[in-house]
Structure formats: structure tokens, C-alpha cells
Structure 1
């Protein structure tokens, strides 16, 4: 009986070692940079990704529902994704709402806390941040789309203008279609 157990284990040990060697050999030869990400990036045209993140941002702006505020003109942009900066990128869309009293901005933050979940966002963090100003902050991840958002209400206590700052970014890297020059993207 002991011989059977030993014989049954021997091929398993050998097989496990063989599998380990094959995996090691593949990685040494260059499994690919995608292993660093843990996923295979979706091929997405930069203009399509730009339109998508603008649409996501627009819905967040609608949820803020601050009347009379001025929205910064910053547009959606591209940043490279380190494992393969010539082919991989992330989208970012920073903007802000200002020009209204803090009471209106506070109402905007309350609106976001209440409305974001209904728009497909999971709030992962809500409360005062660790800055000296202890600004109110919301962080959320979209449950269906590859985006995350960081929203901060800066009350302007240090002499700056009170505002709600919003930064929407893709939570994954996208692969640019063959022939796309990411260095020319903004």
C-alpha cells in the first residue's frame, strides 16, 4: 500500500515541477507585458474612449446639479500606461465646478452621494480627506464601465475659490489600435 501511495505521488511531483518549469521558461522568454497588468487590455480607439469618458463625466455633472456654477473647460485626455507606453493608455477627464457659494457646493456633494449609486457607481469612500483643509471627498468605481472617479469639495479656506473638483479616469489600460501614435494624443 505504501508503494502505491509513493508511486501515485511521484508522477504528481514530476508533473507539478514540469508545469512550473514551463511557466518559468515562458516568462523568461517574455510572457508579455500583459502579465504585469493581470488582464488583456481591450483594443479601443482613442476617440471612442474620449467620447465615452466625456459621456460618463457629463452624467456626473448632471448629478451634481449645481445651478449657476461655472464648469472648467478642461477636456478628456490620454496618459500612457507603463507596461507598454507605445500601445497602452488610460483616459482621464479632470474638471471642476466653481463660482457659487459653499452652501450650493455642499448641496452638490450631497446630490452626488445620493445619485451616483443610481447611475451605476459604487461609492468606495466618503468623508473628510487627510489634507490640512479636511476636504469632503467621494471616491467611486463604476459597476459596469471601466471608470473610477475622485471628487473633492474644496471650501476655499486657504484663499482659493471654493469648488468641487472631479477627476474621472479609466480604471484599466486600453490598447490603441494598430498604427495609432499615442505620442500625438493629448
Structure 2
């Protein structure tokens, strides 16, 4: 065997050893974060996630079947996801409906209780909120999509009257595609 062949084989082995060490180091740094989550986050473009959560929210609004209510203009937003806020994110879409009488809001809550299961939601709570006001609350998890929702009928809001507040959240963290700067999305 020539010296050149020996050199090539030795450098090839050291390249393999180096690659294995790099993979192990990456796993030690990153795998622990995934262990904390208990799952591998789906790679999802932020704009796609934003459209998806808005669609989910829109179906909830449709299920309320309220006529003439004023919907807040809050948009879906990106929030950090622990344990890796530099590389993972969650979606949140808070909004509310107001400007209709309490009787209509009550009917909207009843519509949600009846219709959400048909839209793929499993209701985990329907009843009084754990608060001083004892407002009516619905909590639900989507059975097919990675979302949960908290809906509260605030019957006696002093400043602006009664309303139904809705908080749709992603139930898991997402990883943006390679090259996405999450700082530009927050």
C-alpha cells in the first residue's frame, strides 16, 4: 500500500469520526429540547400557520351565528415557544365579539356548545369559569389540527358591555423553514 493510499484512508476515517462527533454534539444540544417537548416540531411556514389559525377562528365565529356583532380586528400572531425561542414558535389568535345583547351572546355560546364537536372539536370544559365573575367558559381541543381554544362569555364587562372572548392557540410548537428569521415575525 502506498503512502498516498494510507493518507487517503486515514483522512477518510478521521472525516467519519468528525461527522459522528458533530452529529452527537448537535443531538446533545438539540435533542434535549425535543425531549422537553415530547415531540419533533413540524416544519411550517409562518404565513401558512397564520392563514390556518385564522381559518380555524373564522369557523368558530361562523358557528356562533351571531348577527350584527362587532369583531375585534386583532390578527393572528407569532409567539415564542419554550424551550427553544430562537428556533420554534407558536401561533395565537385572540379576538372577541361584542355589541349585541346578552341574550344573543348566550345563544352564541349555546351554538358553540352544540356545533363545535361537528367541526372537529372535543369540548373539555363547559361551565363557569374559575373567576370571581363566574362567566360561562368553553374549552376545547381540535381532534385533527394542532389547536386548542378558550372561549369566555363575559356578561358584565364594565367598560364596553358584554362580549365573548376567544383565544385560539396552537397546541404545539412549529419550526419555521430553514432561513426564516423569527425576530422579523414577532
Name the TM-score class by shorter chain: 0.7 to 0.9
Shift of 1:52: 0.3
**d(CA) in 2 for partners of 1:112 and 1:129?**
16
Structure 2's unaligned 5+ residue stretches are: 1-23
Query: In 2, are the aligned partners of 1:133 and 1:157 still within 8 Å (CA)?
Result: no
Secondary structure in structure 1 of the residue aligned to 2:82: coil
TM-score, normalised to structure 2, is 0.83
Structure 1's unaligned 5+ residue stretches are: 1-24
Shift of 1:112: 0.2
1:53-92 matches, within 5 Å, as 53-92=53-92
* Residue in structure 2 matched with residue 120 of structure 1 by the alignment: 120
1:28-107 matches, within 5 Å, as 29-30=28-29, 31-107=31-107
**d(CA) in 1 for partners of 2:160 and 2:134?**
15
Query: In 2, are the aligned partners of 1:54 and 1:76 still within 8 Å (CA)?
Result: yes
Q: Give structure 1 regions of 4+ aligned residues with deviation exceeding 2 angstroms.
A: 28-32, 157-160
* Residue in structure 2 matched with residue 10 of structure 1 by the alignment: none
* Residue in structure 2 matched with residue 145 of structure 1 by the alignment: 145
**d(CA) in 2 for partners of 1:99 and 1:172?**
33
**d(CA) in 2 for partners of 1:32 and 1:44?**
21
**d(CA) in 2 for partners of 1:38 and 1:93?**
24
Query: In 2, are the aligned partners of 1:124 and 1:141 still within 8 Å (CA)?
Result: yes
Q: Please list the CA deviations of residues 106-131 of structure 1 after superposition, one character each: whole Å capped at 9, or x if unmatched.
A: 00000000000000000000100121
Query: In 1, are the aligned partners of 2:157 and 2:163 still within 8 Å (CA)?
Result: no
**d(CA) in 1 for partners of 2:82 and 2:157?**
37
